[in-house]
């Protein structure tokens, strides 16, 4: 497998190599990134890097990824709403409630199990045995478009677009209340909450996170908004909207603790994806309609 070339930006200065590497190759856990460094698979100017070395933001790194691990997650015949598919990639409209990959408490019944069945085992191995094909993730109770790679070539190409912010992810949500402005940008770093390690928060020293938002419709008691991710941190939209005082409707983690009748979790939908096809270089733009419960909530709140 050809090495991946990675070039940290200035905002990566001071970040540990294993943490930064995990943030750049979606599906690569921090422990897996540390293992790559320990095995001498990541070099800078021909020299191997230690996992705890801190970057200065000017390096050019080469990551020599190992051959794919054998996939031990079992295929399962779970229906998929396939929006786009070819020999390299597959894009699925994920329903709410479907977990993306196996994890403690969710050993099967996930999107990965469904993809293994649908694709006949043809998925990239960069994400490891539990996350084959997964290039980026969306939360269990967030619906919408998610892209998976069928081979490592496609995975590397899409991961590079995530790194340079050319893979555009567009969401729609309903937030509580109404912002004064019609559009804005939240540029606030995100990391683990010091008060609750199960949650994310805007924290000093967190990883850079940028969300662009605009109002689509002002509602009774809320606002229908579009959010475009420039970065892709865990729970980014949910954290950023709560940070500006407009938590996503139904988000019982970062907003009101009481669920909203008729909503399963947060009212957040990954509506659009725009990227360059990793093999052909052609622009691909995909969209999917709002789920029924999102539309029903809009009708309830429309003036």
* Per-residue tokens: 172: 């729609």
Show the beta-strand stretches assigned E in 47-162: 47-48, 61-63, 82-85, 89-94, 143-149
- Give the C-alpha separation, 204 to 182, whole Å: 27
Catalytic residue of the set 18, 88, 139, 152: 139
Distance CA 178, CA 194 (A): 29
Determine the Cα angle at 138 with ends 293 and 6, to 5°. 155
Q: Cβ of 106: how many Cβ atoms within 10 Å?
A: 14
Check: CB of residue 274 under 8 Å from CB of residue 158.
Answer: no
Angle in degrees, 0-180, between the axes of helices 17-24 and 30-38, rounded to the nearest 10: 120
Helix or strand holding residue 241 (H, E): helix 236-243
Tokens of 170: 């567009």
**Is residue 182 annotated as part of the catalytic site, yes or no?**
no
Phi then psi for 82, rounded to 5 degrees?
-85, 120
* DSSP class of 161: H
All residues at 6 or more sequence positions from 173 whose CB lies less than 8 Å from its CB, including other chains: 224, 225, 227, 237, 241, 248, 249, 266, 267, 268, 269
d(CA 213, CA 226): 6
Name residue 100's beta-bridge partners.
none
**Residue 264 neighbours by CB distance under 10 Å:** 16
**What's the CA gap between 102 and 79, in Å, rounded?**
17
What's the length of the chain?
A: 303
> Which residues are known to be catalytic?
139
């Amino acid at each position: 497998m050809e090495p991946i070339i990675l070039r940290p930006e200035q905002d990566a200065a001071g970040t540990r190599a294993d943490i930064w590497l995990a943030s750049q190759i979606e599906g690569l856990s921090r422990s897996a990134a540390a293992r790559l460094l320990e095995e001498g698979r990541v070099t800078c100017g021909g020299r191997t890097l230690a996992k705890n070395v801190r970057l200065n933001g000017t390096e050019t790194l080469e990551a020599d990824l190992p051959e794919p691990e054998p996939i031990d997650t079992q295929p399962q015949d779970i229906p998929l709403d396939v929006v786009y598919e070819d020999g390299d990639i597959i894009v699925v409209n994920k329903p709410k409630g479907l977990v993306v990959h196996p994890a403690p408490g969710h050993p099967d019944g996930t999107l990965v199990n469904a993809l293994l069945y649908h694709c006949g085992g043809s998925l990239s191995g960069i994400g490891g045995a539990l996350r084959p094909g997964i290039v980026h993730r969306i939360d269990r109770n967030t619906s919408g478009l998610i892209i998976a790679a069928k081979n490592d070539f496609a995975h590397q190409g899409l991961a590079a677009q995530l790194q340079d912010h050319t893979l555009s992810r567009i969401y729609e949500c309903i937030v509580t209340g109404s912002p004064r402005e019609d559009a804005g940008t939240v540029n606030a770093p995100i990391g683990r909450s010091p008060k609750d390690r199960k949650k994310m928060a805007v924290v000093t020293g967190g990883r850079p996170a940028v969300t662009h938002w605009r109002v689509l419709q002002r509602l009774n008691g809320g606002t229908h908004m579009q959010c475009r991710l420039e970065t892709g941190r865990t729970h980014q939209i949910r954290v950023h909207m709560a940070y500006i005082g407009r938590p996503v409707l139904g988000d019982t983690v970062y907003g009101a603790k009481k669920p909203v009748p008729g909503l399963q979790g947060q009212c957040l939908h990954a509506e659009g994806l725009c990227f360059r096809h990793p093999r052909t270089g052609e622009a691909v733009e995909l969209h999917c309609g709002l789920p029924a419960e999102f539309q029903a909530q809009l009708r309830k709140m429309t003036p």
